[in-house]
Structure 1
Amino acid sequence: MPFTIDFLSDGRVLEWEATADGAVATERDNYTPRFYVAPRDPDADLDPTTLQSVYDQHPDVVATETVSRRPGFRQAEELVLAVDVAHIDRVTPLARQARQLSEYPVGDLACFNVDFSREFRYCLENGTDPTSASELSTLRLAVPMTETSNDIYGELTVGGDTVTGSPTDILTDVQAALDAHDPDVLVCSTSEIVPTLHEMATKAGVDDFSLSRWPDVDYQQLASRSTYANYGRVGHSPARYNIPGHAIIDESNTFFYGETNLDGVLDLVSRSKKPVQELAWASIGNVLTAIQICEAHNRGVLVPWHSWRHEFYKPMRTLHDADRGGFIFAPEVGLHENVHELDFSSLYPNIICTRNVSPDVIRCDCHSDREDVPGLGYSICDERGYLVDVLQPIINDRDEIKAAIRREKQQDDPDEDRLAELEGRSGALKWILVASFGYQGFSNAKFGRIECHEAINAFAREILLTAKQRLEAGGWRVVHGIVDSIWVTPDPEVDDEDRKDLETLATEITERVEIRLEHEAHYDWVAFVPQRESDAGALTKYFGKVAGEDDFKIRGIEARQHSTPQFIKDVQRDCLERLDATRSPDAVLDCLQNAIKRLHAGTVPVEQIVERNRISKPLEEYSQNTQNVAALKRARDQDLAVHPGQDIEYVVVDDEKSSRERVALAHEEIESYDASYYETQLVRAVESVLSPLGWDRSKIRRELAETQVLELTAFANTEDG
């Protein structure tokens, strides 16, 4: 089975299979990708022969035929025009021409199976499984930040070894590593390594250098770099390259490899039929869509190029009731002793499967008199929806993987490699399940439907309310609850002998709602943090001491945030240790005092106070002189390319300035830092720890000031004496 597929400019296709003796290529010269065209309205009076005659005359069309397919899950088979194309790069241009035909009114024609990625299309149309039967070998190539904008590298890491010297020296070392390792997968810190190395070889006259396993083709550019916005968050997509015979994983442009590992990637390869290289750069939604497309293909359903699903009619009252999310019980701000966390296992995906919530069966015509969705009155057909067939195997497999992880951890000598494999696969499947709910409300989803999104939320609200009622009736008090998790503590007004066992209650609730309620954790204590400018509890900011363990569970506060310097994270964790040991704000403040002294003494290592922030727009579009702007100016001065959507790392050296001297980039020689600035960040972090106990920033500052006055007084008295 091929692990990667290459498309040559002359139309030939190379299937690369990993073997014990290296990769083997199978050449194919008869592949013709296919897309479909049909009237958008099946009852429209449109003559397909006219369309067929136009395509038959096109030089990029190999053949056409009329076939029976289902244009949608809710539709029966009908005649559509299948168009076989000479080259994979010509599919989209040919599909666009269907919209430009003067014989048909604009919008009357629909195209299907158009915007598939190249390798995925090939696997889907040929029934090819891109899951390698042999273990894939890997080699990592990396360049430091200071080299990323250079046309010629002076330093490169190859398989963990740093090589320096002239271009010829570096190219020789890279070629030697390729020959020695013969990797199937090239893991690159940035995809720009590929063209840069080849350009270096050209300029240096090293004619025999090539990363490719196929003669005469060094590399191909698949896409240019771009910046995009997704739900208000700016992202950067680097250029993508292809090297024949290798799958490339670009560490700067991969979600699943970054969040899991190669085992997680390979698990999803087998489910989505997207080979390694495509899956590595794909988003969660992209992979989920691929899995759904595979299910549609198995059912003879075509995939629309552009979604045109209308929203079903709803009266105003239903619109009001449907426009709600999951249920939330506002957290009780403060520190609570003896707390248990209960979680519904994959709540939203399990709602889809146990309630049969799927775009093809929601609000069906055959059961329009039923009100299956609580509070909304939507009907759900008895016929099994396609989305259930997509998600149920993933849910089952993840449950089995999690059970295997528990068993492995219980061993006296756990196999760490086996654990890493299982955890990588579990993590990858978790992300697919997480996305399955939001996908239903995504306007550009191929098969989503807003009514499914609304129905899932409605079931979730009912389930959480049922759990709350059962737990309270059993003698437990709910201190927080959000969507699929509930935190409870023994109700002090209920005698211990009258309180129901929590495991028993969880089993009863599981049987009632048909989704497993699991005991996630027991905490010695949990603290819920208030909002910054309010006494109300922040929904996703809390921390707690796990009972019987030396660890804390932390959510939302600085120690979990991407941008927080490591020194501040460490101090905050030390403060949690003090709070756990003493329950005393004074002990926490002592920890803060010591950290502040280290800051002002200049003994904190610079690498421990590096900030990492995401750039949201080009330098020219910023109107305020922020720290990010100062860092961007320094990067520009050094010819370092930092694009919107990428991170930039720096140390604040003088926050009073507004120029580029305000910060220093992390790789620069840094002699000092702004201790007062980092003191402010420390106080903010300690406020998160003490705010559940009623301490805000101003109170912390007052206490620090009083302590400092006392220390100075004691020092003066000593001098007088």
Structure 2
Amino acid sequence: MDEITGWLLDLYEDGERGLALWFIAEDGRRLCLHQAFPLHFYAAGPAPRLREAWQWLGQRPDPPKLARESRRDLFQPQPIPVLAVEARHPAEQRALFAELERAFPDLTYYDADVQVQIRHAARYGSFSLAHCRVSVDAQLNVHAFQTLDSRWDLDPEPPPLTVLEINVPGESPLHENPVRFELRCGAWKRAYELVEGSAPAYWLKAALGRFDPDILITDYGDTWLLENLLARVKDPAAELPLSRDPARTIHTIREKTYFSYGQVVYRGQQVHLFGRIHIDRKNAMMWGDYGMEGILENARVTALPIQTAARVSPGSGISCMQMITALRGDILVPWHKQQVEQPRPLIDMIHADFGGLVYQPTVGLHRDVAALDFVSLYPAVMVRCNISPEKTALSLSDPPPDDPGLVPQTLAPLLKKRVLLKQRLPGLPAWDPRRKWYKARTSAHKWLLVVCFGYLGYKNARFGLIGSHEAVTAGGREALMRAKEAAEDAGFAILHLFVDALWVQRKDCTRPEDFQALQDEITRRTGLPIALDGVYRWVVFLPSRADSRIPVGNRYFGAFQDGAIKVRGLDARRRDTAPWVANTQMALIEYLARAPDADCLPDYLPGALALLRRALQRLNAGRVRPEDLLTAQRLSRPPEKYTTLSPSARAALQLRAAGKEPQAGQRIRLLYVYGKPGVWAWDRPEAFDARRIDLRVYRKLMLRAAADVFQPFGIRPEELAMLVEGDFVQPPLSAARAGRKIEALRGLESLPVVKEAVQWIEKSAV
């Protein structure tokens, strides 16, 4: 028997051999080990039906092991009798369960569809890139498995990973065929032309042979690149070895569209490898938010395979974490959710389900404002108040629970890990490489913790219950009210409350340390951690665009004392905003943020308006690239299902006419153009004439976005258009028209920029 110490890279089913485990040994070897892994699943129901199922299974040519056991269902007060079925290996278990379920659909099944990686994690404490010690025989069969670290380690020893990147510069293959690609591994880099024939595939094959990478990072690898390269190889003997496992090629998961949290979501096709990890940057769920470091951390804490963790939603990660907790506690994992919301009187629902607490903000410009955020409020409430489907929720005034439920057990170590990493960040210098690593990992934790609350009320959550969901919001409201009372007792004015945050102001408090006593008092009254998001030099709360008298809770922007900027609810934060509009709006805010304090802001308005004028001049002169004017709008349904065609639906019909099949949930890139149908689908194969761009539409979009920035300083949207119109209207102006313009600006004469505009209008008048 030999002992091998190393890191677990990949784990998957391997027929009758059980599991294949790919290891990165400490001596540098990459090894494929095999482990026998028998599995159990369970059936519950009336005793006569369980006896029939026993007899049916016993009559099979190769019957599985059967037993009668008592097991715990989380939603039952006492253990329930079940029929335990043992399969010798994962592949047999899946086929056996499918046949049994077809023969006995009236039984209730447990532990039937839990992924083998999750079962292995529950049994051995394993996870992706776990540091492990294994005992193997001469045939590399695993006889003992020991995990040497934990999912919750703050600074785990990193494995020596080799990463090969396949970069495809330029536009998406949907828009135009790429002409070159780049291979990069560490300091080594080569660029190649994507010529016809098999040469590009052989160039990649040579790189795979030279570096034998553990991780393959691609652009469009899922949806185009890898299948394109595989198709170029005609000789079976020269097959492209994307997977390390010689018996496997690739595993393809088809594209799909689904409905989630009020949105239609499209997920592109996936290409998974065996023994080697493939991540497509363009198809990974959260690559833009936390990159490779966050994906690896997500895989670590959820125990999902890295390739899966990169592509599934955070809700799937939380579900897997709950399954691990259940399996370790000998709790059955239902095949389907059994509990449904029971009918209730309307008045009960009104009393129970208020949602998060929101106090509408005081609209306008405010100076020296502190923003205080509870640290992961809803998860913290779930842990503090022991909110779990099988438990009665506590209040914030009760002592901490002695017997935590399944959900708090799952969330507590994740919440603690995130808080500890965030506490380390301020003490690290800007040059320390751990800053980027910690930020990415805490961002991965944030998304898991964000969805754990919604998952409690999700209709398909196996351990969800709407009553628990409502208890969380009740705890959140109570915590925010206690924080509000603490602030008011200390003499602070409350400018805004929003679910888990409050914005407070007091004349004598302008520095971060001035708010520490308030933080301590809030923590004392709630039992929950709260952090200072920052102190704004100035912050603006915006009203509704539809009615300026109505405040909106999540539309604001401001500049912190350290120069950082925070923007919420503006066009710059929307994914369907053209980059030119978004970037110009952010440039305006950044320019205003140069003001040393709120009193100096009027002095910066002329410069900001000049910046806006220059941006509009570039547009009018045709100096803005079409790519910077693209909007990406989500297609909520197939285009033929629209009664009134939206811009995205019109663009989707153009793509369909060109032989492409846009799917519901996809974002359709388009330009606004003159004439019917008013849009141009960017991914059409025809060449685009930039002279067709409808400049009026983009000018309107830009002025609407800029109005949000200038409105707090007394410039109304219609006035803003007049202030910048001089660059686009050729003089001379008629006396009547000049008079109307000057009249529209009446009341703003104190602004230097208005004086400038009036002088220009008077000079231009005939």
Structure-2-length-normalised TM-score:
0.81
User: 1 CA distance for matches of 2:175 and 2:580?
Assistant: 32
The reply to whether residue 618 of structure 1 matches residue 638 of structure 2 is yes
User: 1 CA distance for matches of 2:396 and 2:424?
Assistant: 36
Residue 39 of structure 2: aligned partner: 33
User: 1 CA distance for matches of 2:764 and 2:701?
Assistant: 34
User: 1 CA distance for matches of 2:551 and 2:167?
Assistant: 44
User: What is the identity, as a one-letter code, of the residue corresponding to 1:583?
Assistant: L
User: 1 CA distance for matches of 2:653 and 2:541?
Assistant: 40
Choose which of 532, 538, 546 in structure 1 pairs with 2:552.
538
User: 2 CA distance for matches of 1:48 and 1:661?
Assistant: 62
Q: Deviations over 1:592-617 (max 9, x none)?
A: 22222221112223333232233333
CA shift, 1:474, in A, is 1.5
Change (3 A) 1:617 1:700: same
Tell whether the 8 Å contact from 2:363 to 2:542 is kept in structure 1 after alignment. Answer: yes
SS in structure 2 at match of 1:158: strand
The reply to whether residue 414 of structure 1 matches residue 431 of structure 2 is yes
Change (3 A) 1:152 1:694: closer
CA shift, 1:348, in A, is 1.1
The reply to whether residue 163 of structure 1 matches residue 165 of structure 2 is no
Residue 583 of structure 2: aligned partner: 570
Change (3 A) 1:336 1:559: same
Change (3 A) 1:466 1:379: closer
Residue 454 of structure 2: aligned partner: 438
Change (3 A) 1:138 1:618: farther
Change (3 A) 1:651 1:181: farther
Residue 246 of structure 2: aligned partner: 215
The count of aligned residue pairs is 689
CA shift, 1:450, in A, is 1.5
Tell whether the 8 Å contact from 1:373 to 1:458 is kept in structure 2 after alignment. Answer: no
The reply to whether residue 676 of structure 1 matches residue 696 of structure 2 is yes
User: What is the identity, as a one-letter code, of the residue corresponding to 1:198?
Assistant: L
Q: Which runs of 5+ in 2 are unaligned?
A: 1-6, 132-158, 734-758
User: 2 CA distance for matches of 1:141 and 1:636?
Assistant: 30
Which range moves more in the overlay, 175-184 or 73-82? 73-82
Change (3 A) 1:649 1:388: same
SS in structure 2 at match of 1:342: strand
User: What is the identity, as a one-letter code, of the residue corresponding to 2:375?
Assistant: S
Tell whether the 8 Å contact from 1:154 to 1:167 is kept in structure 2 after alignment. Answer: no
Change (3 A) 1:643 1:61: farther
Residue 230 of structure 2: aligned partner: 198
Choose which of 488, 498, 501 in structure 2 pairs with 1:472.
488
Residue 647 of structure 2: aligned partner: 627
CA shift, 1:76, in A, is 3.8
User: 2 CA distance for matches of 1:240 and 1:638?
Assistant: 24
User: What is the identity, as a one-letter code, of the residue corresponding to 1:7?
Assistant: E
SS in structure 2 at match of 1:139: strand
Change (3 A) 1:231 1:434: closer
Change (3 A) 1:278 1:60: farther
Residue 643 of structure 1: aligned partner: 663
The reply to whether residue 583 of structure 1 matches residue 589 of structure 2 is no
SS in structure 1 at match of 2:258: strand
The reply to whether residue 135 of structure 1 matches residue 157 of structure 2 is no
User: What is the identity, as a one-letter code, of the residue corresponding to 2:703?
Assistant: V
User: What is the identity, as a one-letter code, of the residue corresponding to 1:158?
Assistant: L
Change (3 A) 1:153 1:173: farther
Which range moves more in the overlay, 62-71 or 517-526? 62-71
The reply to whether residue 251 of structure 1 matches residue 281 of structure 2 is yes
Residue 620 of structure 2: aligned partner: 600
SS in structure 1 at match of 2:259: strand
Change (3 A) 1:179 1:639: farther
Change (3 A) 1:660 1:583: closer
Q: Deviations over 1:380-403 (max 9, x none)?
A: 976322222211111111111112
Choose which of 18, 23, 26 in structure 1 pairs with 2:24.
18
User: 1 CA distance for matches of 2:477 and 2:175?
Assistant: 55
Taking the TM superposition and a 5 Å limit, the aligned residue runs for 1:257-336 are 257-311=287-341, 317-336=347-366
Change (3 A) 1:68 1:3: farther
User: 1 CA distance for matches of 2:715 and 2:322?
Assistant: 50
Taking the TM superposition and a 5 Å limit, the aligned residue runs for 1:73-222 are 74-85=76-87, 88=90, 91=93, 94-101=96-103, 107=106, 109-124=107-122, 128-133=126-131, 134-143=159-168, 148=173, 155-159=180-184, 161-164=190-193, 165-190=195-220, 191-192=222-223, 193-202=225-234, 207-221=238-252
User: 2 CA distance for matches of 1:179 and 1:568?
Assistant: 46
Q: Deviations over 1:183-228 (max 9, x none)?
A: 11222333143333222212x677343212222432233x322211
CA shift, 1:710, in A, is 9.6
User: 1 CA distance for matches of 2:263 and 2:577?
Assistant: 19
SS in structure 2 at match of 1:71: coil
Tell whether the 8 Å contact from 1:610 to 1:666 is kept in structure 2 after alignment. Answer: no
Q: Deviations over 1:341-379 (max 9, x none)?
A: 11111111111122222222126xxxxxxxx5589xx99
CA shift, 1:543, in A, is 0.2
User: What is the identity, as a one-letter code, of the residue corresponding to 1:111?
Assistant: Y
Q: Which runs of 5+ in 1 are unaligned?
A: 364-371
Tell whether the 8 Å contact from 1:4 to 1:275 is kept in structure 2 after alignment. Answer: yes
CA shift, 1:677, in A, is 1.7
Give the fraction of aligned pairs with identical amino acids, expressed as a percent.
26
CA shift, 1:245, in A, is 1.4
User: What is the identity, as a one-letter code, of the residue corresponding to 1:447?
Assistant: F
Tell whether the 8 Å contact from 2:669 to 2:681 is kept in structure 1 after alignment. Answer: no
Tell whether the 8 Å contact from 2:658 to 2:684 is kept in structure 1 after alignment. Answer: no
Tell whether the 8 Å contact from 1:650 to 1:666 is kept in structure 2 after alignment. Answer: no
